[in-house]
């Protein structure tokens, strides 16, 4: 493991050495973490996890927009961080990722923008599809409503944004859940956000 105290130093390490994953603090002297993330993602296929304080939601959204794979809020549980790192390192290189996302009996075909449940094509609105795809691209990771608002609707701020996300989550549950009142795929993490849960496919 290598550590760097500035963004410039970290970028030099990445140029010279083989790096599997970057833990990136947003608050760095010199080049800030967002610019470091931007430079990494322009030239490398290295997964990035952003470390942020709880009052940095806008920076987290910007980091995800620049290509960061995940974020962890400080102070954080070290076991959670290790789990998130393990999940990222187990994934394929982004350049080799397939055009579909699969969890349990739910299949998202990104190349066709279609969703199937138990082999049956679902009728989703464009925004419902986009919301499900964004959650699926970070399968089993919690995304806040602010991140979803930015990634799906393109808004940094919106007075009705939280309710818009909530309504679309509720509508999606009616279409993808065996029992919408007891969701097993589209889950709410109280105080944190939403996630599309990872399930093994039934044989």
Domains, the chain, ranges and CATH?
1-92 (3.40.50.2300), 98-203 (1.10.10.10)
Q: Are the C-beta atoms of residues 40 and 61 closer than 8 Å to each other?
A: no
For residues 178-184, give the mean pLDDT. 94
Averaged over 162-167, what is the pLDDT?
Answer: 89
20-34, 77-91, 118-132, 146-160: least confidently modelled range? 77-91
Beta-carbon contacts of residue 155 (< 8 Å; ≥ 6 apart)? 149, 161
Predicted local distance difference test score (pLDDT) of residue 91: 58
Q: Which is higher by pLDDT, 102 or 73?
A: 102
Whether the predicted pLDDT of 3 surpasses 50: yes
Q: Is the pTM of this model over 0.85?
A: no
Q: Is the pLDDT of residue 95 over 50?
A: no
User: Which of 74-88, 103-117, 126-140 bottoms out in mean pLDDT, i.e. has the lowest?
Assistant: 74-88
Q: What pLDDT score was predicted for residue 46?
A: 84
Cα torsion through 88, 105, 170, 148, rounded to 10: 20
Which of 57-71, 85-99, 183-197 is most confident? 183-197
The whole-number pLDDT of residue 202 equals 53
Give, in order, the Cα–Cα distances in Å from 173 to each of 55, 62, 104, 167, 186.
30, 28, 15, 10, 7
Q: Of 38, 5, 2, which is closest to residue 22 (Cα–Cα)?
A: 2
Predicted confidence band at 56 (pLDDT cuts at 50, 70, 90)? Answer: low
- Determine if residue 180 is left, alpha or beta; phi over 0 gives left, psi from -120 to 50 gives alpha, anything else beta: alpha
Q: What is the pLDDT of residue 96?
A: 41
CA distance 98 to 83: 23
The model's confidence at residue 68, banded by pLDDT at 50, 70 and 90, is confident
Asked if the model's pLDDT at residue 54 lies above 80, the reply is: no
Whether the predicted pLDDT of 45 surpasses 90: no
Nearest Cα residue to 128 out of 98, 154, 153, 100:
153
| Mean pLDDT across 147-155 | 86
């Amino acid at each position: 493991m290598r550590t760097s105290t500035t963004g410039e130093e970290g970028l030099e390490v990445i140029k010279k050495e083989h790096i599997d994953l970057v833990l990136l603090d947003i608050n760095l002297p010199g080049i800030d973490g967002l610019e470091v993330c931007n430079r990494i993602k322009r030239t490398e296929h290295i997964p990035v996890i952003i470390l942020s304080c709880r009052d940095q939601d806008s920076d987290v959204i910007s980091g995800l927009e620049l290509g960061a794979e995940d974020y962890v809020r400080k102070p954080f549980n070290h076991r959670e961080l290790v789990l998130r790192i393990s999940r990222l390192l187990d994934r394929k290189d982004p350049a080799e990722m397939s055009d579909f996302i699969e969890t349990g009996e739910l299949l998202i075909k990104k190349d066709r923008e279609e969703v199937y449940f138990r082999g049956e094509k679902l009728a989703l609105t464009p925004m419902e599809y986009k919301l499900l795809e964004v959650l699926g691209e970070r399968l089993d990771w919690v995304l806040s409503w602010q991140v979803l608002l930015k990634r799906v609707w393109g808004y940094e701020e919106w007075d009705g944004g939280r309710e818009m996300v909530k309504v679309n989550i509720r509508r999606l549950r009616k279409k993808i859940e065996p029992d919408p009142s007891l969701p097993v795929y589209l889950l709410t993490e109280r105080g944190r956000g939403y996630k599309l849960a990872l399930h093994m496919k039934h044989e």
